Amino acid sequence: GAVVSQHPSWVICKSGTSVKIECRSLDFQATTMFWYRQFPKQSLMLMATSNEGSKATYEQGVEKDKFLINHASLTLSTLTVTSAHPEDSSFYICSAKGGAGPYEQYFGPGTRLTVT
Amino acid sequence: GIQVEQSPPDLILQEGANSTLRCNFSDSVNNLQWFHQNPWGQLINLFYIPSGTKQNGRLSATTVATERYSLLYISSSQTTDSGVYFCAVGLWETSGSRLTFGEGTQLTVNP
């Protein structure tokens, strides 16, 4: 099956600093990548959708200036949490799919962010 | 947007028992996936099943798109089946590739 990696697996940062999370599709070209956020004991909430070479589309209520998404190539997307605050602490998960259509999405292992 | 409802929210089984998890959705879909989230948070793809029936080992799934539900069957459950099972749906024509997740079913299999 298709493999998606994320780096780092976990990160602790101080309030006010920025953190970058990488998402890579290892064995396929991802035309579209997605970023989700998950709080403990809750479901996944879609934050944004990005297509290679285009600006990301953010879901309602997600601050695009706080959560910067770059999809620079067909195998790499990055999420940068800028000026992080403790309420940004969460589990961030990316997914990716190839092709243009309602195809299967494959998920990364997630990144646990703790802001102190 | 599409509403997704999963039931039951919690399920506790003895090892070896069978179970059925249900996913109801409020509108037409042409994308439906079942996932298992393990204790470390990784989502594992179980089925991509916008319609029809599929089987993979002890797991099988059926989606009846016209009646807007999908079922996930787990037979002869094992302790390693424990975790959260999510159903996620989407409709390409209105939502593009976006998936809407249900709240999940927390499954606990006791030895």
A67 touches chain B (CB under 8 A): no
pLDDT in tens, A55-99: 899 999 999 999 999 988 999 999 999 999 999 999 999 999 887
Chain A residues whose beta carbon lies within 8 Å of the beta carbon of residue B104: 43
Q: What is the pLDDT of residue A72?
A: 83
- Of B104, B103, B100, nearest in space to B31 by CA: B100
In chain A, % of residues over pLDDT 70 = 97
Give whole-number Cα distances, A112 to A37, A40, B20, B49, B108, in Å. Answer: 10, 11, 31, 30, 24
Helix residue spans in chain B (DSSP H): 92-95
pLDDT digits (tens, 9 = 90+) for B9-66: 999 999 999 999 999 999 999 899 999 999 899 999 999 999 999 999 999 999 999 9
Residue A101's pLDDT is 65
Residue A116 burial class via C-beta count within 10 angstroms: exposed 0-12, middle 13-18, buried 19 and up: exposed
Give the tokens for residue B40. 């470390």
Measure A28 CA to nearest chain B CA, in Å: 16
Q: To the nearest 5 percent, what fractions of chain A are helix, strand and coil?
A: 5, 50, 45
Q: Which of A91, A102, A110 sits opposite B31 (nearest CB)?
A: A102
From the CA atom positions of chain A, what is the Rg in Å?
13
Residues of B within 8 A of A52 (CB-CB) are none
Kindly state the DSSP code that residue A64 receives in the 8-state scheme.
Answer: T
Longest Cα–Cα distance of chain A, Å, equals 41
Asked whether residue A109 carries a pLDDT value surpassing 70, the answer given is yes
Please report which confidence band the pLDDT of residue B97 belongs to, taking 50, 70 and 90 as the band edges: confident
Mean pLDDT of A98-114: 87
Residues of chain A with pLDDT > 90: what percent?
78
The chain B residue lying nearest A90, using CA atoms, is: B41
